[in-house]
Amino acid sequence: MSTLKTPVTEEDHIQGDKNAALTLVEYGDYECPYCGAAYPIVKRIQKHFGKRLRFVFRNFPLVESHPYAGIAAMAAEFAAMHNKFWEMHDMLYENQDALDIPDLLRYAESLGLPADELQQAIHDETSADKIKNDFMGGVRSGVNGTPGFFINGQFHNGSFQYEDLLAALENADNVKSP
């Protein structure tokens, strides 16, 4: 059973209560259709658990398979520097079929972010190290494809359908507070 080798820190993109009993970490790729399918499911899961759950998103772009996954991740990291990570994250997953640079610049503008700076950040690969660190942390933790989920540090080796994720999280919650 694989476990999460890189603990969740302040450097992570986190939604929800930091003292939540449950932590769901997703390793995701913005161009991956399975991640796209998981996106609304995670939203439902977050709604269901409310304060009991914190959700963490880490980059796992498979750039050899998905040519736009890398720049999309850079756009999200750029937005993060302006405290708009989740807005961009959602925008990307809601527009997975349009992730080329002009699209990303458009999304940045719509979020009130400086598009020219994003273009520069993509050109300079400003966040490449952070993305690579996320990726390698995932690889070392046994992530074998996307989306890769960890529930309280344990690799979720099941499907990401709503009922399955829900059951796995409920189960982890019971283990934590019997």
Partner 1 sequence: MSKILTPNTLAPDFTLHVTADQTLSLSELKGKPVILAFYPADWSPVCGDQVALLNEVLPEFRKHGAGLLGISVDGVWCHDAFSAERKLHFPLLADFEPKGAVAKQYGAYREKDGCCERALFVLDKEGIVAWSYLSPVAENPGVDGILDALEGLSK
Q: Is 25 exposed, middle or buried (0-12, 13-18, 19+ CB in 10 A)?
A: buried
What values do phi and psi take at 53, rounded to 5?
-125, 135
Q: Rule CB under 8 A: choose which of 81, 114, 142, 162 binds partner 1.
A: 142
CB 3 within 8 A of CB 153: yes
Query: Closest approach of Cβ 144 to partner 1, in Å?
Result: 4
Q: Rule CB under 8 A: choose which of 43, 44, 140, 176 binds partner 1.
A: 140
Q: Is 51 in the site for partner 1 (CB under 8 A)?
A: no
Q: Is 64 in the site for partner 1 (CB under 8 A)?
A: yes
Minimum CB distance to partner 1 smaller for 110 or for 144? 144
Q: Rule CB under 8 A: choose which of 82, 136, 162, 166 binds partner 1.
A: 136
Minimum CB distance to partner 1 smaller for 65 or for 171? 65
Instruction: Tell me the C-alpha distance between 42 and 26, whole Å.
Output: 9
**3-state SS assignment for residue 155:** strand
- Helix axis angle for 69-81 and 101-110, nearest 10°, is 20
Query: Closest approach of Cβ 162 to partner 1, in Å?
Result: 21
By the criterion CB under 8 A, which residues form the site for partner 1?
2, 62-65, 135-136, 139-145
